[in-house]
Amino acid sequence: MNTKRLPPGGRILIASHNLGKVREIGALLVGLGLTCDSVGDLGLEEPEETAATFAGNAELKALAAALAAGRVSLADDSGLAVDALGGAPGIYSARWAGPEKDFQSAMKTVEDALQAEAKEGVVDRRARFVCALSLAWPDGHVETFQGEIAGHLVWPPRGERGFGYDPVFVPEGEDMTFGEMDPDHKHRISHRARAFEKLLVRLSESEVVGASQDAIGR
């Protein structure tokens, strides 16, 4: 069994400047009995995402934060993978929004690409959200957990909750987009929540937190 522990008080540094992502991860950490702050709070920069996978980019960001701050750090790399687009935008999901983080434009780019790939007027709207979470220690140790959720895309966008591509993604078994969904419900079923479930198992096995699976989404 891995013997790595969190420091006393269970405080974790979130390696992200994305405020929506920081809020969502923070809400999940509270459910695990942990507290957090972000690299933005400490004035630290995020490294360039140069890896070829979600897991690789999450590990890169978590390690950079852990080494810079001397603290246990948690990084998330996540994105939208669209079947008809060969998995794009994938690890480039944020880049499709440009330097201004214009996800309205990014969602339109995805829709235009889907229409261009339509066969005999039929658009394949299958997609999935993927999340890789990496927990890194200042000594260079890293552990990564991945979750995903399948669904389909809609147009036009619906709802103003969430962030990123949430307003165009409807998870399997649901009628609402992530953008329409109550945040508590989204936190229970999302790709990020599924990755956190795996993280929780790891922490519980090493007696880091005394939480149960029901803590996810509280």
Residue 17 included in any domain: yes
d(CA 4, CA 119): 51
Asked if the structure places residue 53 within a domain, the reply is: yes
Question: What is the tally of helices (H) and strands (E) in the chain?
Answer: 6, 6
Q: Is 96 part of any domain?
A: yes
Does residue 128 lie in a domain region?
Answer: yes
Instruction: Give the whole-angstrom CA distance, residue 218 versus residue 201.
Output: 17
175/14 Cα distance (integer angstroms): 31
pLDDT in tens, the chain (218 residues): 456 777 666 789 999 988 888 888 888 787 677 788 999 999 998 899 999 999 999 999 999 999 999 999 999 999 999 999 999 999 999 999 999 999 999 999 999 999 999 988 899 999 999 999 999 999 999 999 999 999 999 999 999 998 999 999 999 999 999 999 999 999 899 999 999 899 888 877 655 544 434 433 33
The answer to whether residue 216 is domain-embedded is no
Domain that holds residue 90: 11-210
205 falls within a domain: yes
Whether residue 218 lies inside any domain: the answer is no
In 3-state terms, what secondary structure has residue 174? coil
Catalytic residue numbers read: 77
Taken as a whole, the chain contains a residue count of 218
Domains identified in the chain, total number: 1
Position of tokens 């029901």? 214
Query: pTM for this one?
Result: 0.85
Residue 147's domain is classified under what CATH number? 3.90.950.10
**Residue 198 belongs to a domain:** yes
